[in-house]
């Protein structure tokens, strides 16, 4: 079992999760995790004992060992499942086979999902928004959060500790021996939290805003947010404010340039466009998608107001390496983006036009016509690219 610096979250609430130091891809291969991740489960010790969430099945023994260091797991009274997805429900069967008298606490959608995932006859205790379970001095209150990010998603709140356990919400994929954001490099945590939001929660931004308003209306005071991945927030305002910014589509006056190239013509165009953007004092970031991390480019797309995408032409369309990024963007529905397309061609054309169509389908407001170059850009073409970059930069500054 890996050494962990702190396992006490607050008095009577302990982290009993697992650290996955070596995972490099998540959700299949849709999300890169260069820093690994954690699966956070929390044990609440009171007159009654509750375990909130579990861990990926591969880490069941690690979780059980942490639980055993605090209590006899057979004495657990409640196991709360905030979410069906297997990275949090994977050890339910193991813990319920030991805690034979425990009730499995979840909402109706979660019960249905767990039945379909694990074919079981567990002893369910169904809750909904506002339901409470008194453990002794501490009370668990539940708040359903459908589609943040699955239909079954739910938050658990402990009023006496002003502690929110929002499962995937406010998480980051970082494997650490530290447990708290303030014990780590906060800039790394915010970058990873942004990547997490952009790749997982961005299409549900309207629901994020609604849920945060609901929490405010309910008057839930929150001192600590303990998510199911990564580090725990003891200054919750920082991540709540960031979620409000990201959900509203607020972005920096900066431009993301993504492209792929066959014989370097489109790459030369991309570099001149970046120079044009920079000449206006606007930050640009360039990704060649054939060799770049798509989930990081998605994060930067969320953080930057402008997006310019380009491709050489192949078979009257775009190069295959760029297509998955644009397809991902279409599903993630970024808000308030402006952008444009560019690319080279040999005879038929069609690459830049296909890129423009994909950007438009992702909800990006298109500025001007696609910028195209036949075969190879020379000085005059590169000057056009430079000016194209300047035009985009001026648009993001308005």
Report the residue number, 228 or 272, with the smaller CB distance to ligand FEO: 228
Report how far residue 397's alpha carbon sits from residue 12's, in angstroms, rounded to the nearest whole number.
50
Closest distance of CB 160 from ligand FEO, Å: 26
> Of residues 87, 152, 161, 280, which has the active-site annotation?
87
Q: Which of 47, 94, 104 is nearest to 73 (CA)?
A: 94
Mask of contacts with ligand FEO, 193-232, x by CB under 6 A? Answer: -----------------------------------xx---
Closest distance of CB 226 from ligand FEO, Å: 14
Residues from 136 through 165 that contact ligand FEO (CB under 6 A): 149-150
For residue 230, the 8-state DSSP code is S
What is the number of other CB atoms lying within 10 angstroms of the CB of residue 82?
28
Report how far residue 342's alpha carbon sits from residue 329's, in angstroms, rounded to the nearest whole number.
17
125 is an active site residue: no
Report how far residue 193's alpha carbon sits from residue 242's, in angstroms, rounded to the nearest whole number.
9
Report the residue number, 85 or 353, with the smaller CB distance to ligand FEO: 85
What are the backbone dihedrals phi and psi of residue 325, each rounded to the nearest 5 degrees, phi first?
-60, -45
Closest distance of CB 347 from ligand FEO, Å: 47
Identify the residue among 20, 56, 62, 168 touching ligand FEO (CB under 6 A).
Answer: 168
161 is an active site residue: no
Mask of contacts with ligand FEO, 57-96, x by CB under 6 A? Answer: --------------------------x-x-xx--------
Alpha helices (H) along the chain: 60-68, 86-89, 92-98, 108-118, 186-196, 205-217, 236-248, 265-279, 294-303, 323-332, 351-361, 379-397
Using the rule CB under 6 A, is 268 a contact of ligand FEO? no
* Cβ-contact 164, 236 below 8 angstroms: yes
Contact residues for ligand FEO (CB under 6 A)? 83, 85, 87-88, 149-150, 168, 228-229
Residue numbers annotated as active site? 27, 83, 85, 87, 149, 168, 196, 229
């Amino acid at each position: 079992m890996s050494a962990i610096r702190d396992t006490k979250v607050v008095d009577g609430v302990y982290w009993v999760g697992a650290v996955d130091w070596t995972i490099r891809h998540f959700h299949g291969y849709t999300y890169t995790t260069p820093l690994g991740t954690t699966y956070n489960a929390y044990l609440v010790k009171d007159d009654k004992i509750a375990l909130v969430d579990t861990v990926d099945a591969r880490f069941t023994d690690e979780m059980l060992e942490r639980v055993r260091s605090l209590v006899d797991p057979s004495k657990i009274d409640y196991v709360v499942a905030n979410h069906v997805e297997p990275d949090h429900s994977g050890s339910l069967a193991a813990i319920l086979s030991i805690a034979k008298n425990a009730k499995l606490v979840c909402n109706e959608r979660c019960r249905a999902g767990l039945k379909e995932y694990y074919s079981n006859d567990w002893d369910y205790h169904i809750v909904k928004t506002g339901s409470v379970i008194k453990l002794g001095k501490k009370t668990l209150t539940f708040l359903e959060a459908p589609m943040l990010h699955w239909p079954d998603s739910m938050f658990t709140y402990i009023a006496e500790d002003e502690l929110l356990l929002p499962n995937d919400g406010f998480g980051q994929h970082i494997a650490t021996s530290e447990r708290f954001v303030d014990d780590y490099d906060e800039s790394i945590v915010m970058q990873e939290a942004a990547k997490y939001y952009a790749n997982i929660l961005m299409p549900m931004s309207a629901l994020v805003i609604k849920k945060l308003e609901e929490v405010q209306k309910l008057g839930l005071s929150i001192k600590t947010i303990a998510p199911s991945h990564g580090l725990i927030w003891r200054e919750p305002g920082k991540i709540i404010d960031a979620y409000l910014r990201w959900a509203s589509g607020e972005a920096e006056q900066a431009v993301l340039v993504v492209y792929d190239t066959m014989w370097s013509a489109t790459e030369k165009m991309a570099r001149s466009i970046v120079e044009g953007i920079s000449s206006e004092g606007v930050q640009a970031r360039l990704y060649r998608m054939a060799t770049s991390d798509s989930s990081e480019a998605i994060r930067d797309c969320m953080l930057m107001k402008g997006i310019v995408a380009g491709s050489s032409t192949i078979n009257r369309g775009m190069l295959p390496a760029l297509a998955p990024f644009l397809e991902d963007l279409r599903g993630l529905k970024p808000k308030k983006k402006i952008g444009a397309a560019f690319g080279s061609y040999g005879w038929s054309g069609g690459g830049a036009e296909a890129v423009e169509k994909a950007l438009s389908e992702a909800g990006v407001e298109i500025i001007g016509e696609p910028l195209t170059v036949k075969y190879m850009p020379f000085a005059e073409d590169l000057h056009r690219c430079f000016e194209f970059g300047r035009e985009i930069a001026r648009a993001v500054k308005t």
